[in-house]
Amino acid sequence: MDAVVVSHRNILNNEYEIKLSAPPIANNAQPGQFVHLLVGDGYSPFIRRPFSIYKASADEGTFSIVYLARGSFTSGLARYSPGGKVSVLGPLGNGFNWHSNPHHRSVLVAGGIGAPPIHFLAERVHSIASEPKAVVINGARTRDLLVGVDDFARLPVMLHVLTEDGTHGMQGRVTDALDKLLKESLHIPSTIYACGPMGMLHAIGDIAQSYGVECQVSIETSMACGTGACYGCAVRVKDETGSRISLACCEGPVFRSDEYLWDEAV
């Protein structure tokens, strides 16, 4: 559908949040799902690009995404003003299979531009969680690459912010904070939900396995059609025969970390 731009704000440096009016998407979006966007009206860009849903309001009929304007696609998107129209396909993908038990702890880990689906999930889990509170670990290499930190701070969650160079929050990596948290409170039944660079997700999967904690990761692999037709986003997961191909756009982008085969070529 063509979605109308409701607002578009520059958060910091090249980080933007664009809010679009699209009631069918806003009503049905689940944390971890994404939309497939196309900007412009020519042949360049030719293929859509995926963006995780950051916020969705069924009441307003709107949803938003947060992106870093880097290459030609996102720089083109940054030029849209309120009233403009963006072609949107969605919501796509499976989303997180999150616990609705208010006494189950959600540990949410966001690395860099992996923060958007984690923010959407944090909004949903905090609304049902009583005790223990959901934990959000938000990190990046440096302050300028930290995404969503002010919005996370507005939620009633236990927030840990880290940068590798110490320019914001604690100095260190999200994996340091996760390891410490699990070591100190392993008695609390928890599930880890994570999105960020593949190296970070792999390391989080290893930590989860070493503590015997369930972990779901949202992987951001490149994809073209977004609907399972082109096989451009094929990855490998475990099955009873050893392994099989899975399509990140429809069976993912969220996978159980103990089922995802990190090092195997497709």
Ligand X SMILES: Cc1cc2nc3c(=O)[nH]c(=O)nc-3n(C[C@H](O)[C@H](O)[C@H](O)COP(=O)(O)OP(=O)(O)OC[C@H]3O[C@@H](n4cnc5c(N)ncnc54)[C@H](O)[C@@H]3O)c2cc1C
Four-residue CA torsion sign, 79, 82, 85, 86: positive
**Binding flag, residue 10, ligand X (CB under 6 A):** no
Query: Minimum distance from CB of 71 to ligand X (Å)?
Result: 2
Site for ligand X in 242-261 (CB under 6 A): 253
Which amino acid belongs to residue 157? V
Q: Which stretch binds ligand X (CB under 6 A): 64-72, 78-86, 100-108, 201-209?
A: 64-72
Q: Which stretch binds ligand X (CB under 6 A): 19-27, 63-71, 103-111, 201-209?
A: 63-71
**Binding flag, residue 49, ligand X (CB under 6 A):** yes
Q: Which stretch binds ligand X (CB under 6 A): 21-29, 118-126, 175-183, 218-226?
A: 218-226
Q: What percent of the residues of the chain are helix, what percent strand, and what percent coil, each to the nearest 5?
A: 25, 35, 40
Q: How far apart are CA 134 and CA 125, in angstroms?
A: 7
Which amino acid belongs to residue 169? G
**Binding flag, residue 199, ligand X (CB under 6 A):** no
Site for ligand X in 102-131 (CB under 6 A): 113, 116
What tokens does 169 get?
A: 């929050």
Question: Cis peptide before 91, with omega less than 30 degrees from 0?
Answer: yes
What is residue 242's DSSP assignment? E
Which positions touch ligand X (CB under 6 A)?
A: 34, 47, 49-52, 65-68, 70-74, 113, 116, 220-224, 232, 253
